[in-house]
């Protein structure tokens, strides 16, 4: 049974950081002086003389559990340009606002930075007088940063056991929602002190402590979302468009719907980004020649949707869909409802469960589905096993190779060519720490309290062998989460939603279709309800196509509304 218990602790919170980077000592001192003069009472102003030095400073700030509000980087630096620094800094503090200092001749660099690092602003040197050319810009950026959930939840602390599945779920939820937190083991001195202060024991973990000092024992995802400043209650009971699912397709629909004047709400069961949001690096997405992490892409899309006025609801599961005249009713798991003129279903897919003896009991305790990026730092100098031969598995292998002593990629086929993009296969071949094991399946797992060993089988000979490991990450195909739509919409034999021309059988429209026209291309068997992305039958399972379908769905929503 879950227990929630509140207690208040007291302690000083460190001021957020403003970091300036410039290799010219005179300019460096000047910008730090001007920033400190206006903001030094509320922010801790740090300065660095190079990109690498600044990245070291950011990592130290991260380890201390502090937040970075603003980065001001000069473009022309010898070791690392300002654009290169800001791109690297996004992986450490994705919510920090980013400003590039440029000379008049460097406007091309500023334009590049807008595309590469989602630059918030660029300032031409010199910026004097700062009251006119510096402070108004910085004021606006700091206000925008302070309004983000990341800023409000900077000091969340999570106390848990290393092999506790509930502790992993809490960390995974916070990480996937880009909420900063500090992870403390339950037997660490500070972890013990927090447990004692909350009147809890190691058996009660996970313990979550808010910035104000309120302690929550084994909180639900809805409680986590609320304390992290994420929205969980809709502002209205009726919308023009409800988007269900926060992956690339759903975010695409939310951005285009809100930007085109539709009152839009996006409802996400767990965290925006979906499976793509867990990717350590997406390198074949248009417009990002150097690649982009799933977290970065998700954060940009989320902020873009909010900028246009879309509402984002977190930790809310939709369990029912029905028609009520011209409206579409959506029922949440708690029994509450919202209604809309139109709906876009973008619920994506989830990884299939690997059915092998012993694995179910070890899920979250060494056995993970998806990348589980929170676990990567714990895999240092250990052997990691990954099951799957598609791009998601390959991206995970590259990511974990930065930490593990050896990454073993297990595939049933003879090679990766049939299931993985060529650029990714080439990457894997260049990394000595990664070994691909063809014709190999996991047929069992065992361990006391957590995964300790796997049983592998050669699919050609049936020969089995045992390997010692504490880490198994599974990417074995996907299943749509559409059981809640059974009897409501037409689905194919695998549960994917059928749309558009595929609904026509022998020229006949689907049963119950009430309109005199055929369904639009992405429209389901219920008029005004559309499907986009991986959940749609026969869709292309790529990030770019999902975003495109999300945008296309909104154009069809407009066509539907105009005809009503």
DSSP assignment of 211-255 equals: TT--EEES--HHHHHHHTT---S-S-SEEEEEEE--SHHHHHHHH
Burial of 26 by CB count in 10 Å (0-12 exposed, 13-18 middle, 19+ buried)? exposed
Which position has the higher pLDDT, 361 or 146? 361
Q: Which tokens is 319 given? A: 């369990």
The number of residues in the chain equals: 564
Q: Which of 197-211, 241-255, 414-428 has the lowest mean pLDDT?
A: 197-211
pLDDT value at residue 377: 86
Angle at 272 between CA 268 and CA 276, to 5 degrees: 125
pLDDT value at residue 196: 86
> How far lies 466's CA from each of 385, 458, 461, 472, in Å?
13, 12, 15, 14
CATH of domain 17-147: 3.40.50.2300
What is the C-alpha to C-alpha distance for residues 400 and 407, in angstroms, rounded to an integer?
7
Q: Which tokens is 164 given? A: 């506790």
Whether 427 and 395 have beta carbons less than 8 Å apart is answered as no
Whether 313 and 234 have beta carbons less than 8 Å apart is answered as yes
pLDDT value at residue 360: 96
Fold match, 238-350+479-563 / 360-476: yes
At the second CATH level, the architecture of 157-228 is 3-Layer(aba) Sandwich (3.40)
Residue 11 pLDDT > 70: no
pLDDT value at residue 91: 78
Q: 500-529, pLDDT tens digit by residue?
A: 999 998 889 999 999 999 999 999 999 999
Handedness of CA 71, 74, 76, 78 (dihedral sign): negative
Which position has the higher pLDDT, 269 or 229? 269
What is the C-alpha to C-alpha distance for residues 89 and 78, in angstroms, rounded to an integer?
17
Q: 363-373, pLDDT tens digit by residue?
A: 999 999 988 87
Query: What mean pLDDT is predicted for residues 351-379?
Result: 91
Residue 8 pLDDT > 70: no
What is the C-alpha to C-alpha distance for residues 46 and 56, in angstroms, rounded to an integer?
12
- Where do the H-state alpha helices sit in 40-81? 51-63
Residue 10 pLDDT > 50: no
CATH of domain 238-350+479-563: 3.50.50.60
Query: What mean pLDDT is predicted for residues 455-470?
Result: 97
Sheet with strand 406-410: strands edge to edge? 367-369, 472-474, 383-387, 406-410, 434-437
Strands (E), 325-372: 327-332, 337-345, 349-351, 367-369
**Confidence class for position 150, pLDDT limits 50, 70, 90:** low
Q: Which tokens is 466 given? A: 């045992």
Residue 6 pLDDT > 70: no
Q: 523-560, pLDDT tens digit by residue?
A: 999 999 999 999 999 998 889 999 999 999 999 999 99
**Confidence class for position 355, pLDDT limits 50, 70, 90:** very high
At residue 20, the 3 state secondary structure works out as strand
Q: Provide DSSP, 508-533.
A: BPPTT--SSSPPPTTB-SSTTEEE-G
Query: What mean pLDDT is predicted for residues 397-406?
Result: 94
Q: Which H or E element spans position 386?
A: strand 383-387
Q: 25-74, pLDDT tens digit by residue?
A: 998 899 999 999 999 999 999 999 999 999 999 888 875 667 899 999 99
pLDDT value at residue 106: 60
**Confidence class for position 12, pLDDT limits 50, 70, 90:** very low
Q: Which tokens is 79 given? A: 């070791």
Strands (E), 245-289: 264-267
Q: Which residues of 517-528 are buried (b: 16+ CB within 10 A; e: fewer)?
A: eebbebbbbbbb
Name the most confidently modeled range: 220-224, 251-255, 398-402.
251-255
For 360-476, which CATH superfamily applies? FAD/NAD(P)-binding domain (3.50.50.60)
Handedness of CA 213, 217, 222, 224 (dihedral sign): positive
Residue with tokens 């919409």: 489
Percent of the chain at pLDDT exceeding 90: 65
Closest CA to 213 of 198, 229, 226: 198
Handedness of CA 511, 515, 517, 519 (dihedral sign): negative
Burial of 237 by CB count in 10 Å (0-12 exposed, 13-18 middle, 19+ buried)? exposed
Query: What mean pLDDT is predicted for residues 197-203?
Result: 88
At residue 45, the 3 state secondary structure works out as strand
Q: Which of 12-26, 447-461, 531-545 has the lowest mean pLDDT?
A: 12-26
Q: Provide DSSP, 407-465.
A: EEEE-SSS-STTTS-HHHHHHHHH-TTEEEETTEEEEEEE-SSS--EEEEEETTT--EE
Domain boundaries of the chain, sorted by first residue: 17-147, 157-228, 238-350+479-563, 360-476
Residue 265 pLDDT > 90: yes
**Chain-wide mean pLDDT for the chain?**
89
């Amino acid at each position: 049974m879950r227990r929630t218990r509140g207690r208040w602790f007291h302690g000083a919170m460190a001021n957020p950081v403003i970091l300036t980077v410039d290799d010219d000592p005179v300019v460096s001192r000047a910008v730090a002086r001007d920033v400190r003069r206006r903001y030094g009472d509320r922010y801790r102003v740090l300065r660095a003389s190079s990109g690498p030095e600044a990245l070291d400073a950011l990592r130290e700030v991260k380890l201390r559990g502090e937040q970075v509000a603003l980065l001001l980087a000069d473009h022309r630096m010898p070791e690392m340009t300002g654009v290169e620094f800001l791109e690297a800094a996004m992986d450490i503090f994705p919510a920090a606002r980013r400003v590039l200092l440029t000379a008049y001749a460097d406007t091309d660099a500023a334009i590049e930075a807008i595309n590469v690092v989602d630059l918030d602003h660029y300032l031409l040197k010199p910026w004097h007088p700062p009251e006119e050319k510096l402070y108004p810009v910085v004021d606006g950026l700091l206000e925008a940063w302070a309004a983000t959930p990341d800023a409000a939840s900077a000091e969340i602390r999570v106390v848990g056991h290393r092999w506790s599945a509930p502790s992993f779920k809490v960390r995974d939820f916070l990480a996937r929602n880009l909420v900063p937190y500090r992870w403390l083991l339950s037997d660490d001195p500070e972890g013990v002190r927090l447990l004692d202060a909350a009147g809890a024991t190691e058996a009660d973990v996970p313990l979550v402590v808010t910035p104000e000092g309120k302690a929550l024992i084994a909180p639900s995802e809805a409680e986590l979302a609320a304390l992290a400043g994420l929205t969980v209650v809709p502002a209205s009971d009726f919308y023009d468009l409800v988007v269900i699912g926060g992956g690339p397709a759903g975010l695409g629909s939310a951005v285009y719907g809100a930007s085109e004047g539709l009152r839009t709400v996006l409802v996400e069961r767990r965290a925006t980004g979906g499976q793509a949001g867990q990717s350590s690096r997406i390198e074949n997405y248009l417009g990002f020649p150097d690649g982009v992490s799933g977290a970065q892409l998700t954060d940009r899309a989320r902020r873009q949707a909010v900028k246009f006025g879309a509402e984002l609801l977190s930790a809310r599961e939709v369990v029912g869909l029905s028609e009520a005249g011209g409206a579409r009713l959506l029922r949440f798991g708690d029994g509450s409802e919202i209604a809309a003129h139109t709906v876009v279903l973008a619920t994506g897919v989830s990884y299939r469960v690997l059915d092998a003896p012993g694995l179910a009991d070890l899920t979250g305790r060494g056995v993970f589905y998806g990348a589980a990026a929170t676990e990567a730092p714990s895999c240092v100098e250990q052997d990691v096993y990954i099951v799957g031969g598609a791009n998601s598995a390959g991206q995970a292998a590259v990511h974990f190779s930065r930490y593990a002593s050896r990454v073993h990629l297990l595939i049933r086929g003879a090679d990766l060519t049939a299931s993985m993009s060529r650029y990714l296969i080439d990457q894997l071949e260049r990394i000595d720490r990664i070994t691909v094991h063809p014709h190999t399946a996991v047929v069992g797992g065992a361990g006391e309290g957590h995964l300790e060993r796997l049983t592998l089988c050669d699919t050609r000979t049936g020969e089995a062998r045992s390997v010692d490991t504490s880490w198994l990450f599974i990417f074995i195909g996907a299943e749509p989460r559409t059981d809640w739509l059974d009897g409501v919409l037409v689905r194919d034999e695998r549960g994917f939603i059928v749309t558009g021309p595929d609904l026509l059988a022998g020229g006949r429209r689907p049963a119950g279709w009430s309109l005199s026209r055929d369904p639009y291309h992405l429209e389901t068997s219920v008029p005004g309800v559309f499907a986009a992305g991986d959940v749609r039958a026969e869709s292309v399972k790529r990030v770019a196509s999902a975003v495109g379908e999300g945008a296309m769905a909104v154009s069809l929503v407009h066509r539907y509304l105009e005809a009503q």
